[in-house]
Chain A
Amino acid sequence: MTGYILSVVTSVVVYMIAGLGLNLEYGWGGLLNITYITFVAIGAYISATLTMGPANSSQAHYILGFHLPWIVGVIGGMVAAGILGLLVGIITLRKLRADYFAIGTLAVGLILFTVIGQDPAIFNAQEGLYNVPQPLSSALDWGLNGYGIMFFFLCLAFLVGVYILCEFLYRSPFGRAARSTRQDEIASAAFGKDAFALQLKLFVVGSVLGGLAGALLVTYAQAYNPAAWQATETFFLFVAIFIGGTSNNRGVLIGIFIVEGLITEATRYLPQIPGHADAIPSARQILIGVLIVVILRWRPQGFFPEPTDRDVKIESRQRGGLAGRVTGLAGLRHGTAGPVELAAEKASAGREGGGT
């Protein structure tokens, strides 16, 4: 039982890192990367093959196999995912509309999925990697669940670090500029913000975090193959972000807990339907699809909406009290918003976007 709980909480913590990474891309930047799981997979594959010994050609084929220390593997996985993000970002971000961008990311994801799934020389195709080494597993006597507990706290430490980083970025001039670009690209550009550079940075940081999640995931599971990174995995993360409230770090953590913890684990115990082995995974995915439609229809801001938007509005109303009243009069007189309100809005946009 302890082992089971450990496996659930560890995977939830790792998915939280991935969720924060995707939230950087989609929530902050409005970048609809519908193949985020591919970046997680690249992190997993590269970190695993860096730490594994050379491929024994009679059993498995894979590239690399350098027997490097675990932490080097993790960093290598993050760098690899980041480089992939940089390449994809440079290609797709420069001039594409949001829908083209999404389709472009999907094309990249499916190309990699097909090639890695079919070519046994890269990452052993469908059979995938197994016997991925775990750090410190033989250095100490861990007892029954000792290693699992240690690894959980290791992942938790990574999550705390990533969360602090995201919160720091959120409040930083970079984070504010990035979100202002999502809200109004033209206004943000008018304040001298380079939308392409901001979005590319978000995309690379998001990819690196995906790579970290992949590296932790593969260390924990000790095995990895294409079944672990099907296209639908990304949509689980998106639902978590929608539930939590797009762009809100804390909300995303809660969303991941609900989706990866409660929904995935609770549906595992539904009674099996005889002769229908696929019924429960299908039912779970139908639930995910329904959640996407229902949340976007009736609660698009999520259950823990982005905090700053409202705060900024209240703040500007308080600060611009006079301006607000003048606007009221002007509005009465002309039936429209007066120039004063526009000026007040510009000022608040300046606060939101400025500072870099």
Chain B
Amino acid sequence: MTVFEHAIGFGLVTAAILSLSAVALSLQYGVTNIPNFSHGAFLVVASYIAFEMQRVSSNLFLDALIGGLSGAALGYVINRFVIRSFTRQGTRLIIVFIVTIGISIIVQNALALFFGNQAQALHLPIEKAHHVGPFIWTGPEIVIMLVALGFMLATHVLLRYTKFGKAQRAISDNVSLAQVAGINAERIVTITWMIAGFMAGISGVVLAVDTGSFVPTTGFFFLLPTFAVVIVGGIGSAYGAMVGSLIIGLAMEIAAPYINASYKEVIAFAILAGFLLLRPHGIFKTSEERAQLQ
């Protein structure tokens, strides 16, 4: 078992967590065209709700589900009571982006006010390591990857085979055209925010399981790697986000043994900066699609 294989094992787990957060952000970004700076709030609120739920139920799956649902509820509230009042009056997107920064500050500090800034941790069963091929994973890590895989399959089915997915793609292409075709855009947008909140919430809980602890700023610091994935994969492309999370997750963990481990995020930011510079439309978008974007 080499350092390299070990790093790939870690990288796949990180990629799994990233993929949940990033596919959620990419879907919401693609459909609503709003870069949601408060995306990290979904993750961290869900972590705290799951943490509180552990007092009631020791079933971690149930706690994670409730955490995810709280993320969905937050997504509903943010869209319904804040974002919508801006988009309805035709506010410029960059202003809406700043508004989501405000939301992120409010949520993060509300959590600090209620729970304090000290690190909290979920109670996890003690697990022994499992050997899978060349990799060593703990039980929770395997579950995290299976959960992420499940969500990716569900996203695929949702986008390809349901009417909702079709409507979603239509809106992200052209809102007014979609509305002319009889699609209730506002309803699709609402549901998209809730799905994004749910998936990001699940991502927050599995992040807390994987790293062992969380603080109110955890979501903010996970936001940048998430944005990196979304931009690498191309905004609005769920499949791009899946590939992007593999790239970013593996790059972060493979680089970690060779540099200071606390610089892991720096790798993600550097990839983000590189993509913004060279391929701001992501790895997959063809020049034709790019022309449509502009």
Question: Which stretch in B143-151, B177-185, B193-201, B265-273 binds the other chain?
Answer: B265-273
Residue of B nearest to A283 (CB): B113
Assuming the A-B contacts A34-B101, A292-B101, are A103 and B109 also in contact, with contact meaning beta carbons closer than 8 angstroms in the complex? no
Distance in Å: Cβ of A110 to nearest Cβ of chain B:
6
Question: Which stretch in A92-100, A133-141, A156-164 binds the other chain?
Answer: A92-100
User: Given the complex of chains A and B, what is the CA–CA distance between A286 and B102 in angstroms?
Assistant: 8
Cβ–Cβ contact A107 & B272, under 8 A: yes
User: Given the complex of chains A and B, what is the CA–CA distance between A68 and B169 in angstroms?
Assistant: 61
The 0/1 profile, CB within 8 Å of A marked 1, for residues 102-118 of chain B is 11111011101100110
Q: Which residues of B contact A152 (CB under 8 A)?
A: none
Cβ–Cβ contact B98 & A238, under 8 A: yes
Cβ–Cβ contact B109 & A289, under 8 A: yes
Whether, in the assembled complex, B292 has its beta carbon less than 8 Å from a beta carbon of chain A, the answer is: no
Whether, in the assembled complex, A131 has its beta carbon less than 8 Å from a beta carbon of chain B, the answer is: no
Whether, in the assembled complex, A102 has its beta carbon less than 8 Å from a beta carbon of chain B, the answer is: yes
Of the residues B35, B113, B265, contact of A114 by C-beta under 8 Å: B265
Cβ–Cβ contact A104 & B276, under 8 A: yes
Cβ–Cβ contact B269 & A110, under 8 A: yes
Cβ–Cβ contact A293 & B103, under 8 A: yes
Q: Which residues of B contact A104 (CB under 8 A)?
A: 272-273, 276
Cβ–Cβ contact B262 & A118, under 8 A: yes
Distance in Å: Cβ of A50 to nearest Cβ of chain B:
26
Q: Which residues of B contact A32 (CB under 8 A)?
A: 94, 97-98
Whether, in the assembled complex, A106 has its beta carbon less than 8 Å from a beta carbon of chain B, the answer is: yes
Residue of A nearest to B38 (CB): A289
Whether, in the assembled complex, A58 has its beta carbon less than 8 Å from a beta carbon of chain B, the answer is: no
Assuming the A-B contacts A98-B94, A279-B113, A293-B99, are A232 and B273 also in contact, with contact meaning beta carbons closer than 8 angstroms in the complex? no
Q: Which residues of B contact A97 (CB under 8 A)?
A: 280
Distance in Å: Cβ of B96 to nearest Cβ of chain A:
9
Assuming the A-B contacts A107-B272, A110-B224, A111-B269, are A91 and B277 also in contact, with contact meaning beta carbons closer than 8 angstroms in the complex? yes
Cβ–Cβ contact B116 & A276, under 8 A: yes
Residue of B nearest to A284 (CB): B109
- B3-28 CB contacts (< 8 Å) to partner A: none
Q: Which residues of A contact B220 (CB under 8 A)?
A: 231
Q: Which residues of B contact A30 (CB under 8 A)?
A: 94
User: Given the complex of chains A and B, what is the CA–CA distance between A50 and B99 in angstroms?
Assistant: 39
Whether, in the assembled complex, A282 has its beta carbon less than 8 Å from a beta carbon of chain B, the answer is: yes
Of the residues B102, B263, B266, B280, contact of A96 by C-beta under 8 Å: B280
The 0/1 profile, CB within 8 Å of B marked 1, for residues 206-250 of chain A is 000000000000000000000000011001001000000000000
Distance in Å: Cβ of A143 to nearest Cβ of chain B:
41
Cβ–Cβ contact B93 & A107, under 8 A: no
Q: Which residues of B contact A293 (CB under 8 A)?
A: 82, 99, 102-103, 106
**How many chain B residues have a CB neighbour from A under 8 Å?**
41
Whether, in the assembled complex, B287 has its beta carbon less than 8 Å from a beta carbon of chain A, the answer is: no
Distance in Å: Cβ of B86 to nearest Cβ of chain A:
7
Interchain pairs with CB closer than 8 A, number: 123
Does more than half of chain B's interface fall in helix, strand or loop, or is it mixed?
helix
Q: Which residues of A contact B98 (CB under 8 A)?
A: 32, 238, 292, 296
For chain A, the bracket of interface size reads: 35 or more
Assuming the A-B contacts A286-B113, A293-B103, are A118 and B97 also in contact, with contact meaning beta carbons closer than 8 angstroms in the complex? no
Cβ–Cβ contact B263 & A114, under 8 A: yes
Q: Which residues of B contact A184 (CB under 8 A)?
A: none
User: Given the complex of chains A and B, what is the CA–CA distance between A118 and B260 in angstroms?
Assistant: 9
User: Given the complex of chains A and B, what is the CA–CA distance between A157 and B110 in angstroms?
Assistant: 40
Whether, in the assembled complex, A311 has its beta carbon less than 8 Å from a beta carbon of chain B, the answer is: no
Whether, in the assembled complex, A308 has its beta carbon less than 8 Å from a beta carbon of chain B, the answer is: no
User: Given the complex of chains A and B, what is the CA–CA distance between A232 and B277 in angstroms?
Assistant: 26
Residue of B nearest to A119 (CB): B260
Cβ–Cβ contact A103 & B276, under 8 A: yes
Residue of B nearest to A276 (CB): B116
Whether, in the assembled complex, A297 has its beta carbon less than 8 Å from a beta carbon of chain B, the answer is: yes
Whether, in the assembled complex, B91 has its beta carbon less than 8 Å from a beta carbon of chain A, the answer is: yes
User: Given the complex of chains A and B, what is the CA–CA distance between A161 and B35 in angstroms?
Assistant: 38
Q: Which residues of A contact B265 (CB under 8 A)?
A: 110, 114
Of the residues B35, B95, B227, contact of A296 by C-beta under 8 Å: B95
Q: Which residues of B contact A292 (CB under 8 A)?
A: 98-99, 101-102, 105
Whether, in the assembled complex, B57 has its beta carbon less than 8 Å from a beta carbon of chain A, the answer is: no
Whether, in the assembled complex, A290 has its beta carbon less than 8 Å from a beta carbon of chain B, the answer is: yes
Assuming the A-B contacts A92-B276, A232-B105, A293-B102, are A103 and B270 also in contact, with contact meaning beta carbons closer than 8 angstroms in the complex? no
Cβ–Cβ contact B262 & A114, under 8 A: yes
User: Given the complex of chains A and B, what is the CA–CA distance between A98 and B276 in angstroms?
Assistant: 12
Whether, in the assembled complex, B85 has its beta carbon less than 8 Å from a beta carbon of chain A, the answer is: yes
Q: Which residues of B contact A115 (CB under 8 A)?
A: 263, 266
Cβ–Cβ contact A235 & B105, under 8 A: yes
Whether, in the assembled complex, B189 has its beta carbon less than 8 Å from a beta carbon of chain A, the answer is: no
Assuming the A-B contacts A107-B272, A238-B98, A300-B91, are A285 and B280 also in contact, with contact meaning beta carbons closer than 8 angstroms in the complex? no
Residue of B nearest to A298 (CB): B85
Whether, in the assembled complex, B231 has its beta carbon less than 8 Å from a beta carbon of chain A, the answer is: yes
Assuming the A-B contacts A282-B113, A283-B113, A286-B110, are A99 and B94 also in contact, with contact meaning beta carbons closer than 8 angstroms in the complex? yes
30 contacting pairs across A/B (C-beta < 8 A): A32-B98, A34-B101, A92-B276, A92-B277, A96-B276, A98-B94, A98-B97, A100-B276, A102-B35, A102-B94, A102-B97, A103-B231, A103-B276, A104-B272, A107-B269, A111-B269, A111-B270, A111-B273, A114-B262, A235-B105, A285-B105, A286-B109, A289-B105, A289-B106, A289-B109, A292-B102, A293-B106, A296-B99, A297-B85, A300-B91
Closest 4 A-B residue pairs measured CB to CB?
A: A292-B102, A289-B105, A289-B106, A282-B109
Beyond A91-B276, A97-B280, 11 additional pairs, beta carbon < 8 A? A100-B280, A102-B97, A103-B35, A107-B272, A111-B270, A114-B265, A118-B263, A285-B109, A286-B105, A286-B106, A289-B106
Residues of B within 8 A of A (CB): 35, 82, 85-86, 91, 93-95, 97-99, 101-106, 108-110, 112-113, 116-117, 220, 224, 227-228, 231, 260, 262-263, 265-266, 269-270, 272-273, 276-277, 280
